Amino acid sequence: MSEDQTAEADRRLHEVLESSGARDPREFYRDRLRELKSADAPAYSKAVAYYQDRLIPEVAAGSVDPLVAWAEYGHMLAESLAPGRTVSIDATGSAQPYESPTQPNQLVLHMPQNQGVRALLVSLPTALTPAQRATYDVLVSGKQRHQR
């Protein structure tokens, strides 16, 4: 991975973000990477190698859609942090097993096997529907409405 490849990959991602209105996933992937660094050094090294040897070169070369490539990276980070299953949540709140590439309007969450761990965000749609917002609030944020 060279500086030119990184710059080109960034340019391609920014171009897709601007044209699609999609959210930039790198911020929450950075958080996952920091968590992985402190939790599992070998898995962190693999994640960095994936980024340097696969993600950036493929995006820079234009051989993959940048959003799809980043979502796959996010999926890999989530799996590395907490084994489990990954699901796509459609606009109605229905979950299906994750398959790449997802539709731009789908919320993608990784559900850890350990029931004491909250869901990990893999991919956000441009705008969450009320059903997706409720799913996100409960599974990722841990928010629950109090009943009277």
What pLDDT, in 10s, does the model give residues 74-113?
999 999 999 999 999 999 999 999 999 888 889 999 999 9
CB 107 within 8 A of CB 89: yes
Residue matched to tokens 């992937």: 29
- Give the burial class of 86: count Cβ atoms within 10 A of its Cβ; 0-12 exposed, 13-18 middle, 19 or more buried: buried
**For 27-52, what is each residue's pLDDT tens digit?**
889 989 999 999 999 999 999 999 99
pTM value is 0.88
Task: Tell me how far apart the alpha carbons of residues 29 and 59 are, in angstroms, rounded to a whole number.
Answer: 16
CB 87 within 8 A of CB 33: no
Mean pLDDT, the chain, whole residue set: 91
**Which alpha helices (DSSP H) does the chain contain, by range?**
3-20, 26-39, 41-50, 56-61, 66-81, 130-136
